[in-house]
Amino acid sequence: MDFPYGKFMLQTIDRCAAPLAQACSSTPSSDRNTMSVNDLLQRNREWAEAQLKVDPEYFSRHVEGQKPRLLWIGCSDSRVAAEQLLNCGPGEVFIHRNVANVVAYNDINIAAVIQYAVEVLKVPDIVICGHYECGGVKAACAKEVTTGYIGDWLMITGWAKRWVDDRLGWRKDRMPKDEYYRHVVEENVLLQVKHLSHLSMIREAWKRDPSSPRLHGWVYDISTGLIKVVMDGMEFENEVKEEESKH
Protein backbone atom coordinates (compact mmCIF):
# COMPACT_ATOMS: atom_id res chain seq x y z
CA MET A 1 0.00 0.00 0.00
CA ASP A 2 1.19 3.50 -0.79
CA PHE A 3 2.09 5.30 2.43
CA PRO A 4 1.31 8.88 1.56
CA TYR A 5 2.95 11.09 4.19
CA GLY A 6 5.77 12.33 1.98
CA LYS A 7 3.51 13.34 -0.87
CA PHE A 8 0.96 14.88 1.46
CA MET A 9 3.47 16.91 3.42
CA LEU A 10 5.09 18.31 0.30
CA GLN A 11 1.78 19.40 -1.17
CA THR A 12 0.79 20.95 2.13
CA ILE A 13 4.00 22.88 2.56
CA ASP A 14 3.77 24.23 -0.99
CA ARG A 15 0.37 25.67 -0.33
CA CYS A 16 0.73 26.90 3.23
CA ALA A 17 4.31 27.68 4.13
CA ALA A 18 4.40 31.27 2.95
CA PRO A 19 1.36 32.67 4.77
CA LEU A 20 2.07 30.71 7.94
CA ALA A 21 5.69 31.68 8.06
CA GLN A 22 4.81 35.31 7.63
CA ALA A 23 2.14 35.20 10.31
CA CYS A 24 4.31 33.33 12.80
CA SER A 25 7.46 35.38 12.36
CA SER A 26 5.60 38.55 13.38
CA THR A 27 4.08 36.88 16.45
CA PRO A 28 5.77 37.60 19.79
CA SER A 29 5.93 34.83 22.38
CA SER A 30 2.71 34.74 24.37
CA ASP A 31 2.59 35.70 28.00
CA ARG A 32 -0.81 35.62 29.65
CA ASN A 33 0.29 38.12 32.29
CA THR A 34 0.99 40.83 29.76
CA MET A 35 -1.23 39.78 26.84
CA SER A 36 -4.86 40.81 27.17
CA VAL A 37 -7.81 39.39 25.26
CA ASN A 38 -7.83 42.65 23.29
CA ASP A 39 -4.22 41.96 22.30
CA LEU A 40 -5.34 38.62 20.91
CA LEU A 41 -8.10 40.28 18.91
CA GLN A 42 -5.53 42.70 17.54
CA ARG A 43 -3.35 39.74 16.57
CA ASN A 44 -6.33 38.26 14.75
CA ARG A 45 -6.76 41.42 12.68
CA GLU A 46 -3.06 41.49 11.86
CA TRP A 47 -3.08 37.82 10.92
CA ALA A 48 -6.11 38.17 8.61
CA GLU A 49 -4.49 41.17 6.95
CA ALA A 50 -1.21 39.30 6.49
CA GLN A 51 -2.98 36.34 4.87
CA LEU A 52 -4.82 38.57 2.42
CA LYS A 53 -1.61 40.34 1.43
CA VAL A 54 -0.04 37.02 0.45
CA ASP A 55 -3.19 35.49 -1.05
CA PRO A 56 -6.29 37.67 -1.66
CA GLU A 57 -8.51 34.56 -2.10
CA TYR A 58 -7.28 32.97 1.12
CA PHE A 59 -10.54 33.29 3.06
CA SER A 60 -13.09 33.33 0.26
CA ARG A 61 -11.87 29.88 -0.82
CA HIS A 62 -12.85 28.43 2.54
CA VAL A 63 -16.47 29.53 2.26
CA GLU A 64 -17.17 26.84 -0.32
CA GLY A 65 -16.58 24.00 2.17
CA GLN A 66 -13.91 21.80 3.66
CA LYS A 67 -12.09 18.72 2.48
CA PRO A 68 -9.60 18.00 5.25
CA ARG A 69 -6.78 15.56 4.60
CA LEU A 70 -7.04 13.80 7.94
CA LEU A 71 -8.75 13.61 11.31
CA TRP A 72 -6.38 14.54 14.12
CA ILE A 73 -7.13 13.31 17.63
CA GLY A 74 -4.62 14.97 19.90
CA CYS A 75 -4.00 16.26 23.41
CA SER A 76 -5.46 19.60 24.54
CA ASP A 77 -1.96 20.70 25.60
CA SER A 78 -1.38 24.22 24.26
CA ARG A 79 2.09 23.28 23.00
CA VAL A 80 0.75 20.71 20.57
CA ALA A 81 -0.90 22.87 17.93
CA ALA A 82 -1.98 20.34 15.31
CA GLU A 83 -2.21 22.53 12.21
CA GLN A 84 0.90 24.51 13.03
CA LEU A 85 3.18 21.53 13.57
CA LEU A 86 1.99 19.94 10.30
CA ASN A 87 2.49 23.28 8.57
CA CYS A 88 -1.14 23.20 7.49
CA GLY A 89 -3.70 25.94 7.24
CA PRO A 90 -7.48 26.20 7.59
CA GLY A 91 -9.42 23.46 5.82
CA GLU A 92 -6.69 20.85 5.93
CA VAL A 93 -7.04 19.11 9.29
CA PHE A 94 -10.25 18.09 11.09
CA ILE A 95 -9.44 18.20 14.79
CA HIS A 96 -10.54 16.75 18.08
CA ARG A 97 -8.48 17.35 21.21
CA ASN A 98 -8.91 16.23 24.80
CA VAL A 99 -6.73 15.57 27.84
CA ALA A 100 -4.17 12.85 26.94
CA ASN A 101 -5.68 12.18 23.47
CA VAL A 102 -8.08 9.53 24.70
CA VAL A 103 -10.65 7.62 22.63
CA ALA A 104 -13.33 6.64 25.12
CA TYR A 105 -16.09 4.25 24.13
CA ASN A 106 -18.82 6.25 25.86
CA ASP A 107 -17.73 9.72 24.71
CA ILE A 108 -20.40 11.02 22.35
CA ASN A 109 -18.31 14.11 21.69
CA ILE A 110 -15.47 12.21 20.03
CA ALA A 111 -17.97 9.76 18.49
CA ALA A 112 -19.76 12.61 16.72
CA VAL A 113 -16.45 14.02 15.46
CA ILE A 114 -15.35 10.63 14.13
CA GLN A 115 -18.72 9.93 12.53
CA TYR A 116 -18.70 13.28 10.73
CA ALA A 117 -15.09 12.83 9.64
CA VAL A 118 -15.61 9.31 8.33
CA GLU A 119 -19.13 9.39 6.91
CA VAL A 120 -19.46 12.97 5.67
CA LEU A 121 -15.94 14.31 5.12
CA LYS A 122 -14.62 10.85 4.22
CA VAL A 123 -11.14 11.50 5.56
CA PRO A 124 -8.80 8.71 4.43
CA ASP A 125 -6.59 8.85 7.54
CA ILE A 126 -7.15 9.20 11.28
CA VAL A 127 -4.20 10.07 13.48
CA ILE A 128 -4.00 9.71 17.23
CA CYS A 129 -1.16 11.99 18.25
CA GLY A 130 0.21 11.95 21.77
CA HIS A 131 3.18 13.98 22.95
CA TYR A 132 6.11 13.60 25.28
CA GLU A 133 5.92 15.63 28.49
CA CYS A 134 2.16 15.02 28.56
CA GLY A 135 0.75 16.20 31.90
CA GLY A 136 -2.22 13.86 31.50
CA VAL A 137 0.01 10.83 31.12
CA LYS A 138 2.15 11.89 34.09
CA ALA A 139 -0.99 12.28 36.21
CA ALA A 140 -2.18 8.83 35.11
CA CYS A 141 1.17 7.42 36.30
CA ALA A 142 1.13 9.19 39.67
CA LYS A 143 0.95 7.06 42.81
CA GLU A 144 -1.84 9.24 44.15
CA VAL A 145 -4.92 9.11 41.94
CA THR A 146 -6.03 12.50 40.62
CA THR A 147 -9.50 13.40 41.85
CA GLY A 148 -12.49 14.87 40.03
CA TYR A 149 -13.28 14.63 36.35
CA ILE A 150 -9.61 14.57 35.36
CA GLY A 151 -8.99 11.54 37.54
CA ASP A 152 -12.00 9.71 36.12
CA TRP A 153 -10.93 10.51 32.56
CA LEU A 154 -7.34 9.43 33.12
CA MET A 155 -8.41 6.02 34.39
CA ILE A 156 -8.47 5.12 30.68
CA THR A 157 -4.84 6.14 30.21
CA GLY A 158 -4.03 4.18 33.37
CA TRP A 159 -4.31 1.00 31.31
CA ALA A 160 -1.37 2.13 29.19
CA LYS A 161 0.67 2.52 32.36
CA ARG A 162 -0.27 -1.02 33.43
CA TRP A 163 0.79 -2.51 30.09
CA VAL A 164 4.12 -0.68 30.28
CA ASP A 165 4.69 -1.79 33.87
CA ASP A 166 4.00 -5.41 32.87
CA ARG A 167 6.34 -5.20 29.91
CA LEU A 168 9.21 -3.48 31.71
CA GLY A 169 9.02 -5.48 34.93
CA TRP A 170 12.10 -4.84 37.10
CA ARG A 171 13.61 -2.56 34.44
CA LYS A 172 11.06 0.13 35.31
CA ASP A 173 12.77 0.92 38.64
CA ARG A 174 16.18 1.42 36.97
CA MET A 175 14.82 3.63 34.23
CA PRO A 176 14.95 7.45 34.40
CA LYS A 177 11.47 8.82 35.05
CA ASP A 178 11.41 10.76 31.75
CA GLU A 179 12.18 7.64 29.78
CA TYR A 180 9.44 5.75 31.61
CA TYR A 181 6.91 8.48 30.78
CA ARG A 182 7.93 8.29 27.13
CA HIS A 183 7.09 4.59 27.14
CA VAL A 184 3.67 5.30 28.63
CA VAL A 185 3.00 8.14 26.17
CA GLU A 186 3.69 5.78 23.27
CA GLU A 187 1.67 2.96 24.81
CA ASN A 188 -1.23 5.33 25.40
CA VAL A 189 -1.25 6.20 21.69
CA LEU A 190 -1.30 2.50 20.75
CA LEU A 191 -4.10 1.88 23.24
CA GLN A 192 -6.23 4.72 21.83
CA VAL A 193 -5.67 3.50 18.26
CA LYS A 194 -6.95 0.15 19.44
CA HIS A 195 -10.01 1.80 21.03
CA LEU A 196 -10.61 3.65 17.77
CA SER A 197 -10.52 0.39 15.84
CA HIS A 198 -13.19 -1.06 18.13
CA LEU A 199 -15.74 1.69 17.47
CA SER A 200 -18.68 0.53 15.37
CA MET A 201 -18.30 3.50 13.02
CA ILE A 202 -14.80 2.41 12.09
CA ARG A 203 -15.71 -1.26 11.77
CA GLU A 204 -18.69 -0.35 9.59
CA ALA A 205 -16.46 1.86 7.42
CA TRP A 206 -13.99 -1.01 6.98
CA LYS A 207 -16.85 -3.27 5.88
CA ARG A 208 -17.58 -0.78 3.09
CA ASP A 209 -13.92 -0.24 2.22
CA PRO A 210 -11.22 -2.23 4.05
CA SER A 211 -8.56 0.34 3.18
CA SER A 212 -10.27 3.42 4.62
CA PRO A 213 -9.88 5.00 7.05
CA ARG A 214 -6.27 4.13 7.79
CA LEU A 215 -5.40 4.53 11.47
CA HIS A 216 -2.09 5.94 12.64
CA GLY A 217 -0.35 6.45 15.97
CA TRP A 218 2.04 9.35 16.30
CA VAL A 219 3.93 11.03 19.12
CA TYR A 220 4.97 14.66 18.93
CA ASP A 221 8.22 15.63 20.62
CA ILE A 222 7.76 19.13 21.99
CA SER A 223 11.54 19.49 22.48
CA THR A 224 12.33 19.01 18.76
CA GLY A 225 9.07 19.75 16.93
CA LEU A 226 9.26 16.35 15.25
CA ILE A 227 6.71 13.54 15.06
CA LYS A 228 7.60 9.92 15.74
CA VAL A 229 5.41 7.32 14.03
CA VAL A 230 4.65 4.56 16.53
CA MET A 231 2.07 2.81 14.35
CA ASP A 232 1.25 3.32 10.72
CA GLY A 233 -1.88 2.26 8.88
CA MET A 234 -0.28 -0.70 7.21
CA GLU A 235 0.99 -2.26 10.44
CA PHE A 236 -2.37 -1.85 11.99
CA GLU A 237 -4.28 -3.51 9.18
CA ASN A 238 -1.96 -6.48 9.44
CA GLU A 239 -2.55 -6.69 13.16
CA VAL A 240 -6.33 -6.65 12.69
CA LYS A 241 -6.12 -9.39 10.05
CA GLU A 242 -3.99 -11.50 12.40
CA GLU A 243 -6.48 -11.02 15.22
CA GLU A 244 -9.38 -11.94 12.92
CA SER A 245 -7.63 -15.07 11.69
CA LYS A 246 -7.40 -16.32 15.29
CA HIS A 247 -11.19 -16.32 15.68
- Shortest Å distance, C-beta 192 to Co ion: 12
**Which part of the chain contacts Co ion (CB under 5 A), choosing from 55-63, 77-85, 183-191, 216-224?**
77-85
Q: Is 102 in the site for Co ion (CB under 5 A)?
A: no
Q: Is 88 in the site for Co ion (CB under 5 A)?
A: no
- Shortest Å distance, C-beta 113 to Co ion: 18
Q: Is 77 in the site for Co ion (CB under 5 A)?
A: yes
Separation CA 200–CA 150 (nearest Å): 26
Q: Is 186 in the site for Co ion (CB under 5 A)?
A: no
* Interface pattern 111-150 for Co ion (x via CB under 5 A): -----------------------x-x--------------
Q: With the CA atoms of 212, 66, 190 and 216 taken in that order, what torsion angle do they form, in degrees rounded to the nearest 10?
A: 50
Q: With the CA atoms of 213, 204, 94 and 110 taken in that order, what torsion angle do they form, in degrees rounded to the nearest 10?
A: -130
Q: Which of 75, 110, 127, 196 binds Co ion (CB under 5 A)?
A: 75
Q: Please indicate whether residue 77 is annotated as part of the active site.
A: yes
Q: Is 73 in the site for Co ion (CB under 5 A)?
A: no
Cβ(239)–Cβ(217) under 8 Å? no
Comparing CA positions, the residue from 210, 207, 133 lying closest to residue 177 is 133
For the chain, state the CA radius of gyration.
20
Q: Is 156 in the site for Co ion (CB under 5 A)?
A: no
Q: Please indicate whether residue 96 is annotated as part of the active site.
A: no
Separation CA 25–CA 65 (nearest Å): 28
Q: Please indicate whether residue 174 is annotated as part of the active site.
A: no
Size of residue set near Co ion by CB under 5 A:
4
Comparing CA positions, the residue from 178, 183, 216 lying closest to residue 197 is 216
**Which part of the chain contacts Co ion (CB under 5 A), choosing from 72-80, 146-154, 168-176, 224-232?**
72-80
Comparing CA positions, the residue from 15, 218, 206, 245 lying closest to residue 132 is 218
Q: Please indicate whether residue 141 is annotated as part of the active site.
A: no
Separation CA 24–CA 157 (nearest Å): 34
Largest CA distance in the chain: 60
Q: Please indicate whether residue 198 is annotated as part of the active site.
A: no
* Interface pattern 31-60 for Co ion (x via CB under 5 A): ------------------------------
Catalytic site residue from 16, 69, 75, 216: 75
Separation CA 135–CA 236 (nearest Å): 27
Q: Is 74 in the site for Co ion (CB under 5 A)?
A: no
Please give the positions annotated as active site: 75, 77, 79, 131, 134
Contact residues toward Co ion (CB under 5 A) are: 75, 77, 134, 136
